[in-house]
Structure 1
Amino acid sequence: MTLNLRPTPPRRFKRLVLIAALAAATMIAPQAFAGPAFAVTTGNGSLVYSPAAGTSFNPEGGRAAGTTYAKMIVLKNSGTSNGTQIVTFDQLVLENGVQVYPIYRSTNNGTTWSRIATVSPSIQFPSLTRTAQPSLYETPIALGSMPAGTLLLSGMIMPSDRSSSRLVMYKSLDHGSTWSFVSTVDTGGAAVYDPSPTSTTSTVWEPSLAVDANGGLVTYFSDERQKASGVLQAVSYRRSTDGGLTWGGVVNVSAPNNNSDRPGMITVTRLPNGNYIATYEVVNQPSQSNNTAPVYYKTSPDGLNWSPTTSLGTKISLPNGRGLGSSPEVRWVPTAGNSNGMIVVSSKWGLTSAGAIDGGQNFFVNRNQGSGSWEQLPYAVTYDAADTEGGTFSGFAQSFDSSADGKTLYQATNVENLATTYNDVRVGSIPINAQQYEAESATRTDTSTVTQADAKGGLKVGNINNATSSVKFTVTAAAAGTYTMNVRYDNGTTTTSTHAVSVNNGSALTVSYPPTANWGRFGWAQLNVTLAAGTNTITFTKGTGFAELDQIQLYQP
């Protein structure tokens, strides 16, 4: 899309990634996952990579960003390696004069990370020294000569003067440790971002991968080469039946021919009912002068047929009209007790019902395979969504995936680092099936509710400032035992604050809240509590300093 850094959206970076799928026979159910995973949500995630100050370039002018396009995959078709997390990103730091795709791995639920490989397209294409828009995909079935569990990396590469664009794919047969070139998917003109109705660009951007219902490998991407038909940009695909060695013709998913709407940054995932859902941003929406790139979606019976292709599809929005915009990603995620699972969508920022940029600290979730209403699910990691607090492309083209046991949602994103002025890459996690309790619905004394767009439900509880202030949650435990409690809070002071927490009026525990970027930027604190079977109360009272509460989550690892 266009990344909008202040009032009008973005410059463009392009992007993205793939997603899951396959045929119904190979759809993975929660009980098929191997290996336990535990949510490790605290603070603002764990650090994967931090570019040193003064090292980043910016290929499009303006401020250097350090990193964008944080992409991740959690292995699920790789035997004893299931549960391993792999991360790559657009690294805007040269290594020996060229850009590369770095490959990072975690084998301890995202707590620590190590760089295990480097993919350097300039080896195959010496004149193409710049990389962009990576995506990761693990094959769920055998494709050509590639066995199930092959890890694929797609991206767009170009020369340093950005005079051409090429979509390429690499594979790894050892879970990311070594990589080999597979093929060029497509080529296009100069990698120049121009969303105006008079644009003459012919770029191919932002590849992502999926397996269609017939077992073919599909590369979805953004295509600017159809302007003669009034199409500023289409989201399209090419299909391979030989494991990515050769590719069929271009087929459109959405190609509005009004010389204005500009869909891009497509990702696709398969649903339990066999249908596929695609999400993408639409640049020049709500208008060319108010370009905030809202997210739309379309569905397909097989991942190949998206009729009518001139249609934009449906805008994703909550019942109150709020939406999301810029650089989305979609995945289907299994959930315990619900065969529908949930469709999860991430994006750079949130939108008001009128389409204005407003926050951006929540996934959007649909629990009925695309039908019915959408709801919010808090991010594990937050960032400067509107790039007004010192960020540059923060959160742009981020990614997420579920754990191998289906209990945890991991999020990888680019988070502004005000010390270096660049984006770090961070990964955090939240439990998928935790019980969620909203602070504004608790029994409150000597506090007040505060409207906050990014708070779950639009409200948080503040002014927990006095000895008489309390927030009492009434919760239900299926069985007696120790539960992990995640607390979503904000603390706009410069020092750590605390609350006293008592369970069923027992002895008080202390929960600590490190400072967040400001009042309104949420973080996570964590505490273990012992609950009785049935109804319990958890009461928060003032400790030291000041903090506000959005919600608590309870789960048993």
Structure 2
Amino acid sequence: MMVKSHWSMLSQLALVCALTLSFFALRAAYEVSPIHAASGTAVGTSLTDYPRVIRLAHSNNSSLPNGTLIASADTNNGQAFPVYTSINGGSSWNYLSTVSPADASAGNCCVALFEVPQQTGSLSAGTLLLAGTIGTGLSIGIWYSTDQGNSWNFLSYVATGGQGSGKGLWEPDLAIDNNGNLICYFSDERHQGDGYNQLLGHVISTDGGQTWGSEVYDVAVNDNNTRPGMASVVKLPDGSYIMAYEVCGNPGCSVHVRTSSDGDNWGNASNLGSIPQASDGSYFTSTTGLVWSPGGGPNGELILVGKYLSNSPNGGSGSTLLTTTDFSGTGTWYKMTAPFNVNIPNSGDHCANYSSSLLPSSDGSSLLELAGQLTADNNCQIVAGSANAGVLPYNDPFSSGTDAGWVTYGGNWSVSNGVYSDTSYSGQGDKAVVGSTAWSNYTLSGDVQLTANDDDAGFIVRVTDPSTGIDALSGYVVGISSGGFYLGRESNGSWTTLGSGTIPGGVSTYTWYHLNIGVQGCTLSIAASAAGSSDQGTLNYTDNGCSSTTGQIGIRTHSGTASWRNISVTAQ
């Protein structure tokens, strides 16, 4: 939604109640909450929601060189926009400066950060811009910094004339269009008299943000109900643009996308665009963020985040992102595990995973996420964490001491000295998964050790629809037990044994065994040995009944306890 929770919402109460009831009825029918050990690192203090992060690429400041991360967010008192920096990829953060609007006694909201990539008007490449809502939706202001965020000056008002909560101006997002002009997109409630409960529009500046042109409607429906908002705009390598946004006023505030050839013209404003959906029909609702990453495909990929993953058979809210290499946004989207899990309460809140921010590494191999997270004492804080960006090759030696990027279902998981362990002894098929459901033909390598006499454990490949339960996934299991190694297929509650083999020297507890598992089409190739030994057992199996040739990877126990290390995945 568009309005800060600590501001008056009386004018929107009926709408919010209706949306909340319908949305949570839908979500409750599907939500199964996974466990996730990695929880992110706190960014500053008193930061609450709308986190934003950028990486400097045009800096001339030796103390804040290219590669430095700059972040900001709303605060719990709504009086200022503090700015933080990180020089280690988001592992730790330091306070840098504060933007304090002179007329913000009623509160600020919805910060945006942008590094100008080229000369536009009077602004040179490397200038930082910070935009935000001022005074409970009364206006949107913009500030600039020529010293990489150390100091800030007011530039202009992008839009004015808001009338406060329920009739305000919200959630700016900045870009440079294909004409080299500065453009600001925002959510606008000023036109309710014309039947637009809320619309998405933009204004253009030809002089570097000193003055702004007339508003253009980008997504707007005058039915007194539909509320498009929270634009997140990305310029793609071919020069086109794609926008992600939520559309409230319909159950669940579903996330939509649409495209533009130049950043200015988005087609018929009454066209709500398309809903990004995974193959299982799941999609995001309520708040969104979109980025382009150079990894994941020959032209890179899009990565999408939303507060809730709806219509998902086995949950995934707060631990799932969606990706695609189809830049129209209308093709298939795939699930990938988020860098860390955000625990979202069953009741609505304005913190957990609310308008999260994503930032791929320069080569697209890893992904940083900033998100709101509720603390143990029910306060909101912004946390940051990074992990593999759902791309191959993948390698996790667990040297960070966390299971960043892994999502666990059941079990008692921990990381120590480069070893990932489950010590629950639950007998419920504890599992942990990582990666993307877009992964197709690949080879997984890793070591597994049984730590209970009656256990069997190993790896899972081509994983989709994981959940808590002994056979609760679709995919293949390659495990070891006292009799050697085995291959089986799980299909959401059913088990089929497909093959088995011996490991030279047998299998003992507290001994490491190395498994090499290749998946190519419907054929699986397995090699198993004691770690460090060249003597191995092998199995090649073609599953004529295979129904999926893509999926994540993971680890799994059956009934006891086990440990894993040195897990890697390479494309075939």
Q: TM-score, normalised by structure 2?
A: 0.66
Give the equivalent residue in structure 1 for 2:86. Answer: 106
| One-letter amino acid matched to 2:42 | L
1:467, 1:542 within 8 Å by CA — same for their partners in 2? no
Pairing partner for 2:285 from 325, 330, 341: 325
Instruction: Please state how far the C-alpha of 1:341 moved relative to its aligned partner.
Output: 0.7
Pairing partner for 1:402 from 353, 357, 360: 360
Give the equivalent residue in structure 2 for 1:427. Answer: 384
Pairing partner for 2:319 from 348, 355, 361: 361
Pairing partner for 2:69 from 56, 67, 85: 85
In 1, Cα distance between the equivalents of 2:432 and 2:158?
44
- CA, structure 1 residues 349+392, in 2 after alignment: closer, same or farther (shift >3 Å)? same
Task: Give CA deviations for 1:278-325 in whole Å, capped at 9, x if unaligned.
Answer: 111011223xxxxx1110111111111111111111111112211001
1:274, 1:302 within 8 Å by CA — same for their partners in 2? yes
- CA, structure 1 residues 308+544, in 2 after alignment: closer, same or farther (shift >3 Å)? same
2:431, 2:555 within 8 Å by CA — same for their partners in 1? no
- CA, structure 1 residues 357+293, in 2 after alignment: closer, same or farther (shift >3 Å)? farther
- CA, structure 1 residues 188+273, in 2 after alignment: closer, same or farther (shift >3 Å)? same
In 2, Cα distance between the equivalents of 1:82 and 1:531?
46
| Residue 285 (structure 2) pairs with residue 312 (structure 1) | no
Give the equivalent residue in structure 1 for 2:205. Answer: 240
- CA, structure 1 residues 406+358, in 2 after alignment: closer, same or farther (shift >3 Å)? closer
| One-letter amino acid matched to 2:372 | N
| One-letter amino acid matched to 1:382 | N
Q: Which of the two has higher C-alpha Rg?
A: 2
In 2, Cα distance between the equivalents of 1:315 and 1:547?
41
In 1, Cα distance between the equivalents of 2:216 and 2:512?
59
In 1, Cα distance between the equivalents of 2:385 and 2:43?
10
- CA, structure 1 residues 531+149, in 2 after alignment: closer, same or farther (shift >3 Å)? farther
- CA, structure 1 residues 237+508, in 2 after alignment: closer, same or farther (shift >3 Å)? farther
Instruction: Please state how far the C-alpha of 1:228 moved relative to its aligned partner.
Output: 3.4
| Residue 135 (structure 2) pairs with residue 138 (structure 1) | no
Within 5 Å, give how 1:398-547 maps onto structure 2.
398-418=356-376, 420-432=377-389, 433-435=391-393, 467-472=454-459
Structure 2: gaps spanning 5 or more residues: 4-15, 25-35, 396-405, 409-425, 439-449, 470-478, 481-502, 514-530, 540-552
Pairing partner for 1:47 from 39, 42, 59: 42
Instruction: Please state how far the C-alpha of 1:344 moved relative to its aligned partner.
Output: 1.3
| One-letter amino acid matched to 1:415 | Q
- CA, structure 1 residues 42+393, in 2 after alignment: closer, same or farther (shift >3 Å)? closer
**3-state secondary structure, aligned to 2:193:** helix
- CA, structure 1 residues 542+266, in 2 after alignment: closer, same or farther (shift >3 Å)? closer
In 2, Cα distance between the equivalents of 1:329 and 1:530?
45
| Residue 182 (structure 2) pairs with residue 217 (structure 1) | yes
In 1, Cα distance between the equivalents of 2:58 and 2:532?
36
Structure 1: gaps spanning 5 or more residues: 11-40, 52-65, 194-201, 287-291, 441-445, 476-487, 492-498, 511-528
| One-letter amino acid matched to 1:85 | L
Give the equivalent residue in structure 1 for 2:295. Answer: 335
Instruction: Please state how far the C-alpha of 1:274 moved relative to its aligned partner.
Output: 2.1
> What is the count of residue pairs matched by the alignment?
434
Instruction: Please state how far the C-alpha of 1:190 moved relative to its aligned partner.
Output: 2.7
Give the equivalent residue in structure 1 for 2:256. Answer: 296
Instruction: Please state how far the C-alpha of 1:259 moved relative to its aligned partner.
Output: 2.0
| One-letter amino acid matched to 2:80 | V
Instruction: Please state how far the C-alpha of 1:377 moved relative to its aligned partner.
Output: 1.8
| Residue 187 (structure 2) pairs with residue 231 (structure 1) | no
In 2, Cα distance between the equivalents of 1:536 and 1:49?
52
2:455, 2:561 within 8 Å by CA — same for their partners in 1? no
CA root-mean-square deviation = 4.5
Pairing partner for 1:257 from 197, 217, 222: 222
| One-letter amino acid matched to 1:409 | L
Give the equivalent residue in structure 2 for 1:28. Answer: none
Pairing partner for 1:148 from 125, 140, 143: 125
Identity between Structure 1 and Structure 2 (%): 28
**3-state secondary structure, aligned to 2:256:** strand
Instruction: Please state how far the C-alpha of 1:400 moved relative to its aligned partner.
Output: 1.1
In 2, Cα distance between the equivalents of 1:509 and 1:489?
27
RCO (CA 8 Å, sep 6+): is it higher in 1 or 2?
1
Task: Give CA deviations for 1:113-155 in whole Å, capped at 9, x if unaligned.
Answer: 1101011012xx3x64521110111111112222212111110
1:167, 1:207 within 8 Å by CA — same for their partners in 2? yes
Task: Give CA deviations for 1:462-495 in whole Å, capped at 9, x if unaligned.
Answer: x9987422023689xxxxxxxxxxxx9999xxxx
- CA, structure 1 residues 92+272, in 2 after alignment: closer, same or farther (shift >3 Å)? same
**3-state secondary structure, aligned to 1:248:** coil
In 1, Cα distance between the equivalents of 2:132 and 2:570?
38
| Residue 170 (structure 2) pairs with residue 205 (structure 1) | yes
Instruction: Please state how far the C-alpha of 1:434 moved relative to its aligned partner.
Output: 3.4
| Residue 164 (structure 2) pairs with residue 191 (structure 1) | yes
Give the equivalent residue in structure 2 for 1:380. Answer: 339
- CA, structure 1 residues 543+450, in 2 after alignment: closer, same or farther (shift >3 Å)? closer
- CA, structure 1 residues 259+409, in 2 after alignment: closer, same or farther (shift >3 Å)? same
Q: TM-score, normalised by structure 1?
A: 0.67
1:384, 1:390 within 8 Å by CA — same for their partners in 2? no
- CA, structure 1 residues 259+389, in 2 after alignment: closer, same or farther (shift >3 Å)? closer
| Residue 127 (structure 2) pairs with residue 167 (structure 1) | no
Instruction: Please state how far the C-alpha of 1:91 moved relative to its aligned partner.
Output: 0.6
Instruction: Please state how far the C-alpha of 1:227 moved relative to its aligned partner.
Output: 2.4
In 2, Cα distance between the equivalents of 1:299 and 1:324?
18
In 2, Cα distance between the equivalents of 1:334 and 1:238?
29
2:430, 2:558 within 8 Å by CA — same for their partners in 1? no
- CA, structure 1 residues 473+324, in 2 after alignment: closer, same or farther (shift >3 Å)? closer
- CA, structure 1 residues 360+281, in 2 after alignment: closer, same or farther (shift >3 Å)? same
In 1, Cα distance between the equivalents of 2:431 and 2:437?
9
**3-state secondary structure, aligned to 2:148:** coil
**3-state secondary structure, aligned to 1:400:** strand
**3-state secondary structure, aligned to 1:364:** strand
In 1, Cα distance between the equivalents of 2:91 and 2:407?
29
| One-letter amino acid matched to 1:469 | D
| One-letter amino acid matched to 2:303 | V
- CA, structure 1 residues 531+48, in 2 after alignment: closer, same or farther (shift >3 Å)? farther
